[in-house]
Amino acid sequence: MNPNEFQEYLAQAGIVLSEKQLAQFQRYYELLVEWNEKMNLTAITEKEEVYLKHFYDSLMVAHSMDLTEKPITLCDVGSGAGFPSIPLKIVYPNIQVTIVDSLNKRINFLTHLCEELELEGVSLYHDRAELFGQNKQFREQFDLVTARAVARLNVLTELCLPLVKKQGSFLAMKAAKSEEELTEAMKAIKLLGGKVVKEEKVSLPLSEDTRYIITIQKKKETPNKYPRKPGTPNKKPIK
């Protein structure tokens, strides 16, 4: 997907990009490749692949939620090189974005990226998601929490749902569907105050690669003991 195709396919989906936004995506690509030579940000570096599998893929969140209605607070857990939150911020500037990542090198990249792209309303935190979710400043404060290909769903649920405010949503973005994965996560979802309200299968244009977006709505407060200590959700997932 070249930049022109990126623009055209988004327009077909109702997202019309300005010249400034197109220039921001171009600069994002340049910085991603430049910094990737110094540190491991992504295995995908070909321009057409980045536009399709990182930029366009990140914006598929807009299929599942109207991001134009009101100013939304979004927390991106384990954002890596800024996906999906930075592409979403470029397209929907009114979103207030918070990114938490456990690697300070990635936070340094994102700090530089936000400065270069002149993005305002982005807060970056070098922290473990388990500790971040126990911080009263952030716990149950976000309208929307996203995680893209970070861990299995029962682990992601424990890392992400504590950050979602009541009636807010957690969107898990998955490259492959696993009924088994969703089934094994149902206990954790219910225990942590969530309910699965939507499962969507979407296809990337051109490649026809399939993606799955699982929307979990926060129905009640998460018990105080969750998330557990760093490393525990991965080693001993809720079953």
pLDDT of 119 over the 70 cut: yes
DSSP-derived pairing of the beta strands 96-101 and 122-126:
parallel
Measured in degrees and rounded to the nearest 5, phi and psi for residue 194 equal -110, 170
pLDDT at 62: 85
Cα 31-34-38 angle, rounded to 5 deg = 125
Query: How far apart (Å, rounded) are the C-alpha atoms in residues 45 and 62?
Result: 24
Q: Is residue 58 very low, low, confident or very high in pLDDT (cuts 50, 70, 90)?
A: very high
Domains and CATH numbers, the chain: 3-226 (3.40.50.150)
Mean pLDDT of 3-20: 95
Mean pLDDT of 210-218: 92
**Element holding 168 (H helix, E strand):** strand 164-174
Query: How far apart (Å, rounded) are the C-alpha atoms in residues 67 and 192?
Result: 25
Strand partners, 214: 172, 199
Q: Tell me: is residue 55 an annotated ligand-binding position.
A: no
Q: Which of 149-153, 156-160, 172-176 is predicted most confidently?
A: 156-160
pLDDT at 49: 96
Q: Alpha-carbon torsion 49, 50, 52, 53, what sign? A: positive
pLDDT digits (tens, 9 = 90+) for 163-192: 999 999 999 998 876 677 888 999 999 999
Q: Tell me: is residue 200 an annotated ligand-binding position.
A: no
Strands (E), the chain: 73-77, 96-101, 122-126, 142-148, 164-174, 194-203, 210-218
Query: How far apart (Å, rounded) are the C-alpha atoms in residues 225 and 227?
Result: 6
pLDDT digits (tens, 9 = 90+) for 101-110: 999 999 999 9
Mean pLDDT of 148-173: 92
DSSP category for residue 224? T
pLDDT at 178: 67
Mean pLDDT of 205-221: 91
Two tokens, residue 146: 């996203």
Which pTM was predicted?
0.94
Mean pLDDT of 14-32: 97
Cα 230-158-220 angle, rounded to 5 deg = 135
Q: Tell me: is residue 83 an annotated ligand-binding position.
A: yes
Q: Tell me: is residue 130 an annotated ligand-binding position.
A: yes
Q: What is the mean pLDDT of the chain?
A: 93
Q: Is residue 97 very low, low, confident or very high in pLDDT (cuts 50, 70, 90)?
A: very high
